Amino acid sequence: MRTLGHFISGGGTSHNPTEGSNRSQLEFEGVRKAQGAQARNRIIIAIACFGLIYSIIGGRLVQYGLRSPETVSSIRRADQLLISRPDLVDRNGEVLATDIRTVSLFAEPNKIVDADEAVELLATVLPDLDMPGIHRKLSSNSRFQWLRRQLTPKQQSQILSLGIPGIGFRPETRRFYPGGPTASHIVGHVNIDNRGIAGMEKYVDGQGLGDLAAAGMTVNEDMKPVKLSLDLRVQHVLRDELAAAMDRYKAIAAAGVVLNVHTGEVVGMSSLPDYDPNNPVEALQKDRLNRMSAGTYEMGSTFKAFTTAMALDSGKVKITDSFDARGSIRIGGFTIRDFHGKNRVLTVPEIFIYSSNIGTARMADLVGIDGHQEFLTRMGLLTRMQTELPEVATPHQPDVWKKINSITISFGHGVSTTPLQTAVAAAALMNGGKLIEPTFLPRTVAEADKVAVNVIAPSTSESMRYLMELNVAKGSGRRAEVDGFHVGGKTGTAEKVVNGRYSSAVRFNAFLSAFPIDDPQYVVLVVVDEPKPEEGQHYATAGMNAAPMVSAIIRRSAGFLGVKPQFGNGTQELSLSY
């Protein structure tokens, strides 16, 4: 470092003291100015560095703020995991389906210290876990993996006590069906993410809940319960009697419906075998089909009720007319015979109560092929039924109707339709002639009248009530009778097709009824698939199995339906005077 003396002594050859002093001062000021400029430069550089650093930090913060949340393909957003559904209740407010809170187990593999140890510990609480699969998940490079959905509180507590790092719980909603399988085919079920995929659960999603859920707008909201037209008490009776009949007649399936003829409300409907919606995987088994609305069948002689109504409503047949039912009818290579042939001329009521194929075919022949097809279409039996339930099948009919088709369809062979729409069409025969689409939601008579379509004349409906009552009083439906409740009905014993041919060994039986038949309020239809003769019996006709099923259902459920019994002189004596 140079000293002040260096600058003075090293000044050169000048000997003027004043001049030397001035020069030294100027040199000192120059050094001071240089040092000040250097300091300013350093400060400016420091400020620039700090500014650059803070700019980078600020830019990154803005970048993070604008970036979309990172998603992992294996999970949904947290809010969507908490989707709530409205309760489903029956017409009396009894809960059919509700939400309960639960938790699910997940892992963050990037935080797992030892995957082998974690798998071994989890196996002590969840021994049924897929251990190789869990190990792969825990060893993966992902940041989130589900390990088990919907744990019990006990399982959650036990896993918590294990203290496994990288393992956590996420709250979820689970659907619970307190009645188990009681009304499974109506209520339906949800998937693991609480989305409705069958029955009325799916219908509810279709009314906007599914869209809201997809948008994440249904988080923990209390929603108004959805009331169904179902009466849980009637539903229990119906299912109980179907189950008993399956056991009694060694049948492969049974199904039934209780339908309000004035509103179209389905008050009870069951199809066995059914499934527990709390374990929806059971619904995938092939025999768990909802036979009432998702299965189509040849309904056998129950179709004679529609053929008779068609003939009467056309004006070409009067209830006092008679038809030759002797022998048989030979047409198109087929021979039409009666099961219990009387081999004589039969009146229209006799054709009905003796279930004469020949007499019914002759009435259909009078109406004609086109008229026959038009009438069944008008009754809603040939087109897909419209209702809230998603599981609805489309009926089958011949591509081209020929005379042989019309003849066989007249007594229930050649057209396959669902039992539910058979009941709906029968309701029109009973209620004065109004065809009302079925509903699984409450509906008043006034609301039903707005959607009703008049399909037959009131006088035809009156005649059909008479014939149905007559058939239970004196015909094949005698076992459906219930003291005090005036039941009317029609049996149907249909041979099933085996290897392309009708087989007399396997049958699809049905009984179509209404009560009280003098002022019908409800239609009750039951079907029983491949029944065997009851112990001590030689036959398994509908009159011997389906009719008693209806009797038991009406006897046990009439009180719940508000139908009071009538005894004494209120009944009129029926006679075969036609």
pLDDT at 65 (0 to 100): 60
CA angle (379 as vertex; 392, 504 as ends), nearest 5: 70
pLDDT at 502 (0 to 100): 84
301 belongs to the catalytic site: yes
- The answer to whether the CB of 430 falls within 8 A of the CB of 218 is no
pLDDT at 141 (0 to 100): 84
Give residue-wise pLDDT tens across range 393-407.
Answer: 999 999 999 999 999
Pick from 146, 174, 128, 7: nearest CA to 74: 146
**Distance, CA of 230 to CA of 259 (rounded, Å):** 10
Residue 97 has pLDDT above 50, yes or no: yes
pLDDT at 45 (0 to 100): 83
pLDDT at 282 (0 to 100): 93
pLDDT at 398 (0 to 100): 95
pLDDT at 6 (0 to 100): 42
**Distance, CA of 528 to CA of 509 (rounded, Å):** 5
In this prediction, residues 269-273 reach a mean pLDDT of 97
394 token code pair: 């489309």
pLDDT at 111 (0 to 100): 86
**Distance, CA of 73 to CA of 81 (rounded, Å):** 14
Three-state SS string across 454-517, please? ECCCHHHHHHHHHHHHHHHHHCCCHHHCCCCCCCEEEEEEEEEEECCEEEEEEEEEEEEEEECC
pLDDT at 408 (0 to 100): 94
From 301, 355, 410, 463, the catalytic residue = 301
pLDDT at 25 (0 to 100): 65
Which residues, 6+ apart, have CB-to-CB distance to 47 below 8 Å? none
Q: What is the pTM of this model?
A: 0.79
Beta bridge partners of 105: 148, 169
In this prediction, residues 357-363 reach a mean pLDDT of 96
In this prediction, residues 489-499 reach a mean pLDDT of 89
Task: Tell me how far apart the terminal alpha carbons of the chain are, to the nearest angstrom.
Answer: 144
What is the CB neighbour count within 10 angstroms for residue 464?
Answer: 29
**Residue 211 — very low, low, confident or very high, per pLDDT cuts 50/70/90?**
low
